[in-house]
Amino acid sequence: MAKENGSRKKSWYSWYFEFNLLYRILIGLLVGIVLGLTLREKILWVAPFGDLFVRLLKMIMMPIILSTLIVGASSVSPANLGKVGLRIIILYLFTSALAVAIGLGMGAVFRPSAELAGFAEAAGREAASPSLAQTILAIIPTSVAQGIVNETILAVIFFALIFGIGISFLRVSPDERLKHAGGVLYTFFDGIAEVMMLIVKGIMQYAPFGVLALVAVVLASNGPKVIGALGVVTAACFAGYALHIVLVYFGLVKFYGRLNLGRYLMEAKDPFITGFVTRSSNGTLPVTMEAADRLGVPKTIYSFSLPLGATINMDGTAIYQGVCATFIALSVWGHGFNLTQMGIIIITATLASIGTAGIPGAGAIMLLLVLDSVGLPVMSGSAVAGAYALILGIDALLDMGRTALNVTGDLTCTTIVAKQMKQIDMSKW
């Protein structure tokens, strides 16, 4: 933003936008902690500023998941759905589901909890949480509009996916009229998705104030003990990220793909580091593509699989969902998830990760959906909102790790599929 304004005269507030957002959010977090701890109930008046941030995130949740999913599904042309396309999609979904399970496992091991008190309403409606069979059946909506209105997330995901697949078929139709219609629809939803991403970027500019207000209120009512809980959440997420890299990625490269791990690491480090600092899978895409090229993956494969991966494959985000959902359940209910709820979270978080846009902070919006699916809706002033607020405070930090993993996952799956299909140039290894 600052660069675009370069030629124009700087306004008095331009320093705000020029200052790295990550630092601004961290400063918001620290100021919120200090104000909450020192002023206690005298700071509670800032609560509406925090609610405003959560409302903005909830507002964008449905439009962003709908548009991102439709664009993601319609970018897979049926021609690409040959062996390579199917393999890569299955591998993406499989690794994401494993990632959620690892996240839930880390939640169970680290047991992060803020034991939140002081909320007028305990919004964790555990009884409302549906059974696994009900959840699976509810994937097919009886009314699409109702799915969107009632925010039944799996139904929306299901419909968006088949709608996107429908568009992808239209786009390659031999009938010129249908082909044109498919192209128009694709451009339309692509435009909507881009607008949504712009809106998220705009909302994130407010994040430092939103985080400040949310964290101040939680700290004012719960004291310093919650800070330790955030440390545990961070440790659990990063332990999950590390475990996923070692078990899943190293396992796939070395044992499944029978490739040289050292050589792989040498190239994978570039997208990893770029993802870490940019917190955007989309932004890292050119670097991930170069790495795939240096690893001998043919352009025909990576030019399709990597943009698709940046849109639908989010292993780091999936781990984060598992850990954070457990943290919120423990903080609000006082206990973790039962097996059914874990199953629901694995399905929802895997599918939600497809709908996560590859931009900074998108995972936190998707967390709202995952929480909804197990009866932990984020409602203003509730304990769930308090716990979610704490997560938002450190989200930028967690996002660095999860994005690094998201892009590494894309590169790993792409390399493995190229090797499986015997299309990899082994002279580069």
CA dihedral (369, 373, 379, 382) positive or negative: negative
- CB nearer to ligand ASP: pick between 253 and 362: 362
Q: Which C-beta is closer to ligand ASP: that of 244 or that of 402?
A: 402
Smaller CB distance to ligand ASP: residue 257 or 360? 360
- Residue nearer to ligand ASP on the CB measure, 46 or 405: 405
d(CA 25, CA 360): 12
278-290 CB burial, b ≥16 within 10 A, e <16: bbbbbbbbebbbe
Does position 245 interact with ligand ASP (CB under 6 A)? The reply is: no
Spatial distance between the Cα atoms of 308 and 144, rounded to a whole number of angstroms: 25
Sign (positive or negative) of CA dihedral 350, 352, 355, 361: negative
Toward ligand ASP, which CB reaches closer, 373 or 403?
A: 403
Applying CB under 6 A, does 274 fall inside the site for ligand ASP?
A: no
Of residues 67, 80, 152, 281, which one binds ligand ASP by CB under 6 A?
Answer: 281
Residue of the chain from 74, 129, 313, 403 that contacts ligand ASP (CB under 6 A): 403
Question: What is the number of the residue whose Cβ is closest to ligand ASP?
Answer: 363
Determine the 3-state secondary structure of 313 from DSSP: coil
With contacts defined by CB under 6 A, name the span among 30-38, 78-86, 264-272, 354-362 that binds ligand ASP: 354-362
Q: x/- contact string, 75-114, with ligand ASP (CB under 6 A)?
A: ----------------------------------------
Q: Does 368 bind ligand ASP (CB under 6 A)?
A: no
Cα separations in angstroms, 125 against 119, 129, 267: 14, 7, 47
- Dihedral sign, CA of 12, 215, 365, 361? positive
CB 169, CB 182: distance < 8 Å: yes
Bridge partners, 121 (sequence order):
382
Is there a contact between 401 and 238 (Cβ–Cβ < 8 Å)? Answer: yes
Query: Which one of 28, 32, 296, 363 is in contact with ligand ASP (CB under 6 A)?
Result: 363
Helix, coil or strand: residue 61? helix
Nearest one of 140, 162, 164, 169 to 152, comparing CA atoms: 140
81 DSSP assignment: T
Task: Tell which one of 129, 356, 414, 415 touches ligand ASP (CB under 6 A).
Answer: 356
> Should residue 279 be labelled a site residue for ligand ASP when binding is judged by CB under 6 A?
yes
Name the CA radius of gyration of the chain, rounded.
Answer: 21
Minimum CB separation of residue 61 from ligand ASP in Å reads 13
Residue 72 found at the interface with ligand ASP (CB under 6 A)? no
According to CB under 6 A, which one of 280, 288, 311, 331 is a site residue for ligand ASP? Answer: 280
Q: Is 240 in the site for ligand ASP (CB under 6 A)?
A: no
CA dihedral 178, 358, 160, 324 (to 10 degrees): 170
Neighbours of 176 (CB within 10 A): 8
Residues 166, 289: Cα–Cα separation, whole Å: 28
Q: Answer yes or no whether residue 348 interacts with ligand ASP by CB under 6 A.
A: no
Instruction: Report the site for ligand ASP in 283-342 (rule: CB under 6 A).
Output: 314, 317
**Is there binding between residue 406 and ligand ASP (CB under 6 A)?**
yes
Q: Does 409 bind ligand ASP (CB under 6 A)?
A: no
Task: Report the residue number, 58 or 279, with the smaller CB distance to ligand ASP.
Answer: 279
Give the binding site for ligand ASP (CB under 6 A): 279-281, 314, 317, 356, 358-363, 399, 402-403, 406
